């Protein structure tokens, strides 16, 4: 569709001109505030299947101009939700080299350095992502908050290739690895709410699961992610850095955020 950005004349305050849902209800991300939370004892731990990929499998690592994404094989899925949600891709949102504040969801107004999203679609009801993306029960996204701290070997499994996708539409094949290692240890503690894609077309089609516990990457790893990529083409004379690719928190309205944990 039309080109959209995170800042300037095509930035998030203008998205709704071409993408009406972006100005609608049930938008994401949100600020997860303590007073919004309601403990729900029926929330089961997230159970994932086939996330541990063999190095013999190849994954496509790509720069789509809005994020760095890894396409995922359809054997990967979430098995603990009312329908099977099959993995499609994962991608990231981050700040910039001078500002390690780039998460989309915030917790009591605390913004993290970055955020990972693992995007799944309801494969019980829809044949693929494109058919599911605009349905209210179409998508389930797992969100992981990322802080700068301890080096994270799992992130190195794709970060070591990031200089091969510096420009928009560049892709490289990377060996499969254990995608579970990118998630926090506990998959039983999370926030849950009904929201949307955080990019145009902003369809209100996402069941969001944001894990309570963050993961860490080192400062060098953060800088690699935040400084390697451009949203412009390789041959363009003035390259446009790809960073600060996060949408601001949206109105919660009467939505409730469920939590799977008590304290």
Which positions are annotated as active-site residues?
66
By beta-carbon proximity to Zn ion, the closer residue of 175 and 201 is: 201
Interface with Zn ion: number of residues (CB under 5 A): 1
Residue 159 CA from chain centroid, whole number:
16
* CB 29 to ligand 5EF: min, Å: 8
CA distance 56 to 34: 44
Question: DSSP class of residue 241?
Answer: B
CA distance 7 to 239: 16
Partner from Zn ion, ligand 5EF, none binding residue 27, C-beta < 5-8 Å depending on class: none
Beta strand residue intervals within the chain, DSSP E: 31-32, 37-39, 48-49, 58-63, 68-71, 77-78, 85-94, 106-107, 110-111, 114-122, 139-148, 171-175, 190-195, 206-211, 215-217, 257-259
Peptide bond between residue 29 and the one before it cis (omega within 30 degrees of 0): yes
> Which residues of this protein are in contact with ligand 5EF, per CB under 6 A?
64, 66-67, 69, 88-89, 91, 117, 119, 129, 133, 141, 197-199
Looking at the DSSP bridge assignments, the partners of residue 94 are 114
* CB 105 to ligand 5EF: min, Å: 10
* CB 231 to ligand 5EF: min, Å: 11
By beta-carbon proximity to ligand 5EF, the closer residue of 51 and 126 is: 126
Partner from Zn ion, ligand 5EF, none binding residue 209, C-beta < 5-8 Å depending on class: none
By CB atoms closer than 10 A (0-12, 13-18, 19+), residue 230 is: buried
By beta-carbon proximity to ligand 5EF, the closer residue of 128 and 163 is: 128
Q: Interface residues for Zn ion in 95-134 (CB under 5 A)?
A: 117
* CB 237 to ligand 5EF: min, Å: 25
Minimal CB distance residue for Zn ion: 117
Contacts with Zn ion, residue ranges (CB under 5 A):
117
């Amino acid at each position: 569709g039309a080109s959209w950005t995170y800042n300037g004349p095509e930035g998030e305050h203008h998205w709704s001109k071409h993408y009406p849902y972006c100005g609608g209800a049930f938008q994401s991300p949100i600020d997860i505030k303590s007073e919004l939370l309601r403990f729900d004892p029926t929330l089961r731990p997230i159970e994932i299947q086939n996330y541990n990929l063999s190095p013999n499998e190849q994954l496509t690592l790509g720069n789509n101009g809005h994020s760095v994404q890894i396409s995922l094989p359809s054997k990967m899925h979430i098995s603990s939700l009312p329908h099977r949600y099959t993995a499609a891709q994962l991608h990231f949102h981050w700040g910039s080299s001078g500002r390690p504040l780039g998460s989309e969801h915030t917790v009591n107004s605390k913004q993290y350095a970055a955020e990972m999203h693992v995007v799944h679609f309801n494969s019980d009801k829809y044949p693929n992502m494109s058919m599911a993306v605009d349905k209210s029960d179409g998508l389930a996204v797992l969100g992981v908050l990322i802080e700068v701290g301890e080096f994270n070997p799992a992130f190195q499994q794709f970060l070591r290739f990031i200089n091969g996708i510096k420009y928009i539409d560049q892709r490289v094949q990377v060996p499969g690895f254990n995608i579970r290692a990118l998630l926090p240890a506990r998959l039983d503690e999370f926030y849950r709410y009904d929201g949307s894609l955080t990019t145009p077309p902003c369809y209100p089609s996402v069941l969001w699961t944001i894990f309570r516990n963050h993961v860490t990457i080192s400062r060098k790893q953060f800088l690699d992610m935040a400084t390697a990529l451009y949203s412009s083409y390789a041959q363009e004379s003035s390259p446009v850095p790809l960073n600060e690719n996060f949408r601001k928190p949206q109105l919660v309205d009467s939505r409730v955020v469920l939590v799977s944990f008590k304290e």
